Amino acid sequence: MNRSSQPPVPGGRLTEPAERLDSVPGPYGKQRRKQTDSALAPDLSQMSMSGQDTLNNSSPFASAVKSSSRGGLASVARLVKLGRCKNVVVVAGAGVSTASGIPDFRTPGTGLYANLEKYNIPYPKAIFNIDYFSNDPQPFFSLAKALYPGSHRPNYIHYFIRMLHHKGLLLRVYTQNIDGLEKLCGIPDDKLVEAHGSFATAACHLCYTAYPAKEAKQAIMNDKVPICTFCAATVKPDIVFFGEDLPQKYFLNTQDFPKADLLIIMGTSLQIEPFASLVNTVRSPVPRLLLNRNAVGPFKKVPLRRADHMELGDLEETVRRFAEMLGWNDDIEELMRSQETLSLPTLISSPLSVDQTSCQSRGAPAGTETSRSRAGGQRGASSGSEETDSKSSASSSQST
Ligand code: OAD
């Protein structure tokens, strides 16, 4: 992707919460990380709610909010079955892929940001900071060897999103994930916004001249630095770093969110802007359903907005229950079987087993280094009869 032709769009730059420890140089250790985590908490509250009425573990309102969310899933399922939700927007984060064995970013202990010691960086998010990369690309390139598409498979949650499309109900999925699993499960390009980019393309980090993604990968895998043929600066995969603009496609949100009649937010801490604020741009009567382990963003506020619902717990388990309520479970299982049979031969064995093993020994889940599906597999998986699917399934959704 040559982004030099795309002028920066106001409000479209990837940013972290206002208070940053990023700018504090020096080695980080357990104590520093702890400070980072706790220092971020107040910022998140400020982002979308006042400190007084936010939900935290010690809040006396915590149980009230949890119980008020009971039945939320069933209420939303009822709306879908009644045909009231035909323009569903899904907002997704790393929690969607943990069931595929890919760690999220911020879960204490297992999250990526808690496991970066070996990269010798001054603070965890430096690894995705464009200015840091410009000065020293090595830490990111070392991590990228593990991040590149490879050995992980889409899970039930990805296929649930695909089923929304299959039923003709998905307006768009906005994902922050760079693992490519949405594509790999067969969600077509026109339904997918990879808001934080992907490994599918590469470009110069300075002049944005496009560079063949395959060659960039080859260089990185062989501990070489890919160099821009135009300005000789360092090339990187088109993952959006802190301080960079989001892809142009992200701005479809200005059309989509006002049109949405249901927003499903899954597996994200809603900490990173501008993505996090998207959830506040649907019309106020539109139901918003949060499926996550914990309350995040505006769902920490007491009381919840009238049309807000949340179901807290393990995401895959919750999505399975939701699918059961909708009568979609068998369809999803069948879709998974057929899609996995179709795309399994495209898998390559991961060259990253050493990294994975070392992370597992720190107690992280299997395949704990973020690993991504390969481009060939994505293309194969996302091709197919999506238009037919949508049309035929639109009618099938009426009967559920
Ligand atoms: P985070 O790690 O910040 O948040 C993941 C959320 O998913 C957390 O609230 C977890 O509790 C929840 N979660 C994880 N596993 C779950 C499970 N099995 N069931 C239920 N909930 C679960 O990840 P993101 O919000 O996606 O940016 O992070 C946003 C961005 O921050 C990323 O795209 C990345 C990072 O810096 C870049 O790298 C540019």
Would you say 267 and 157 are in contact if contact means Cβ atoms under 8 Å apart? yes
Query: What are 129's strand-pairing partners?
Result: 242
- Ligand 1 atom closest to the Cα of residue 275 is 29
Indicate whether residue 106 lines ligand 1 (CB < 6 A): yes
Q: How, if at all, do strands 210-211 and 235-239 pair?
A: unpaired
The percent helix, strand, coil of the chain (3-state, each to 5) is: 45, 15, 40
CA of 366 to the centre of ligand 1 (A): 17
Indicate whether residue 281 lines ligand 1 (CB < 6 A): no
Would you say 301 and 48 are in contact if contact means Cβ atoms under 8 Å apart? yes
Name the residue with tokens 């009869």: 385
Terminus-to-terminus CA distance in the chain, angstroms? 41
Q: What is the DSSP string of 157-224?
A: HHHHHHHHHHTT-EEEEEE---S-HHHHTT--GGGEEETTEEEEEEEETTT--EE-HHHHHHHHHTT-
DSSP letter, residue 120: -
Name the residue with tokens 């959830």: 279
Which of 266, 263, 377, 393 lies closest to 335 in space, CA to CA? 393
Helix 315-326 to helix 156-166 angle (10° resolution) is 30
Please state, as a whole number, how many other Cβ atoms lie within 10 Å of the Cβ of residue 30.
9
Closest CA to ligand 1's atom 35? 105
User: CA 118, CA 36: separation in Å to the nearest integer?
Assistant: 18
- Ligand 1 atom closest to the Cα of residue 111 is 2
Name the residue with tokens 């899954």: 266
Name the residue with tokens 């965890």: 124
User: Which of the residues are catalytic?
Assistant: 196
Would you say 33 and 26 are in contact if contact means Cβ atoms under 8 Å apart? no
CA dihedral 1, 217, 339, 316 (to 10 degrees): -90
**Residue 339 burial (C-beta neighbours within 10 Å; 0-12, 13-18, 19+):** buried
CA of 20 to the centre of ligand 1 (A): 18
Per-residue pLDDT of the chain (400 residues; tens, 9 = 90+): 444 434 334 367 777 654 332 322 233 333 333 333 332 222 222 222 223 333 343 444 444 444 345 579 999 999 999 999 999 999 999 999 999 999 999 999 999 999 999 999 999 999 999 999 999 999 999 999 988 877 799 999 999 999 999 999 999 999 999 999 999 999 999 999 999 999 999 999 999 999 999 999 999 999 999 999 999 999 999 999 999 999 999 999 999 999 999 999 999 999 999 999 999 999 999 999 999 999 999 999 989 999 999 999 999 999 999 999 999 999 999 999 998 887 665 544 443 332 332 323 222 222 222 232 323 333 223 333 344 354 433 333 333 2
**Pair of tokens at residue 36:** 């980072």
Q: What is the DSSP string of 337-393?
A: HHHHHHHGGG----TTHHHHHHHHTTTPPTT-S--B--HHHHHHHH-S-HHHHHHHH
Q: Which of 106, 121, 181 to mutate to test the pocket of ligand 1 (most atoms within 8 A of CB)?
A: 106
